[in-house]
């Protein structure tokens, strides 16, 4: 068994369950006001955004349609290449729809940039990007999402959907992983 107590691997809690719940409620209220009469198509980028996405959708008090896309970044190096391969595409046509792309974290920003370009090419009525966490020091400001939950320092964060080697996604908070876990 790989891990017996995931909490032992956490150096510090960056955002508690309550802080996350409160911020997601604010984002949901903002999107409700903006999309009340637009019947938006809300897109989850699997897998990291899954918890944020479902909580955010529950906080949007308007008609909406849910769909999911699974992608994989690949390239020569360990870093995201920004070239995104679709593993599972949307089930729905987005042409003429108001689309909201929901992402868990922007690191280099290349995944979201590529997905935005890809989905824009399908001619939606509008497209907005929402991310929970933004490592703003790691990318140019023009790559930032339209709506962001929290700006964070360049630390290895896990929990609330974010993983290391597939683990820690189910932690209810967002924490900084101890260096010795991944070094």
Residue 107 binds ligand PRP (CB under 6 A)? yes
Q: Which residues carry out catalysis?
A: 107
The single residue listed with the structure tokens 């932690």 is 171
CA quadruple 73, 156, 160, 138: dihedral, nearest 10: -60
Tell the smallest beta-carbon distance from residue 62 to ligand PRP (Å). Answer: 26
Residue 111 binds ligand PRP (CB under 6 A)? yes
Stretch that binds ligand PRP, among 14-22, 34-42, 59-67, 104-112 (CB under 6 A): 104-112
Residue 133 binds ligand PRP (CB under 6 A)? no
Tell the smallest beta-carbon distance from residue 163 to ligand PRP (Å). Answer: 5
Residues whose CB falls within 8 Å of the CB of residue 98, separated by 6 or more in sequence, listed in order: 35, 38, 39, 40, 41, 124, 125, 126, 128
DSSP 76: S
The token pair that represents 114 in the structure block: 């590529």
Per CB under 6 A, contacts with ligand PRP among 53-82 are 73, 80
Residues 109, 177: Cα–Cα separation, whole Å:
21
Tell the smallest beta-carbon distance from residue 82 to ligand PRP (Å). Answer: 6
Stretch that binds ligand PRP, among 40-48, 52-60, 86-94, 117-125 (CB under 6 A): 40-48
Tell the smallest beta-carbon distance from residue 162 to ligand PRP (Å). Answer: 7
Residue 163 binds ligand PRP (CB under 6 A)? yes
Stretch that binds ligand PRP, among 36-44, 87-95, 102-110, 171-179 (CB under 6 A): 102-110
Let me know: does 155 contact 14? Beta carbons within 8 Å: yes
Q: Report how many residues bind ligand PRP under the rule CB under 6 A.
A: 16
Residue 129 binds ligand PRP (CB under 6 A)? no
Neighbours of 35 (CB within 10 A): 19
Contacts with ligand PRP by CB under 6 A lie at 45-48, 73, 80, 103-111, 163
């Amino acid at each position: 068994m790989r891990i017996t107590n995931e909490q032992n691997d956490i150096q510090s809690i960056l955002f508690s369950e309550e802080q996350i719940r409160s911020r997601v409620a604010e984002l949901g209220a903002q999107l409700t006001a903006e999309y009340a009469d637009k019947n938006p198509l809300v897109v989850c980028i699997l897998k990291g955004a899954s918890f944020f996405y479902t909580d955010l959708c529950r906080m949007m008090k308007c008609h909406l349609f849910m769909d999911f896309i699974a992608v994989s970044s690949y390239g020569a190096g360990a870093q995201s290449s920004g070239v995104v391969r679709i593993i599972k595409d949307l089930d729905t046509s987005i042409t003429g729809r108001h689309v909201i792309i929901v992402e868990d974290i922007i690191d280099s920003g290349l995944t979201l940039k590529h997905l935005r370009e890809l989905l824009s090419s399908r001619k939606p009525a509008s497209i907005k990007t929402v991310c929970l966490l933004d490592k703003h020091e790691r990318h140019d400001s023009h790559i930032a999402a339209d709506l962001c939950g929290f700006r964070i320092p360049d630390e290895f964060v896990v929990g609330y959907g974010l993983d290391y080697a597939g683990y820690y996604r189910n932690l209810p908070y967002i924490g900084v992983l101890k260096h010795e876990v991944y070094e």
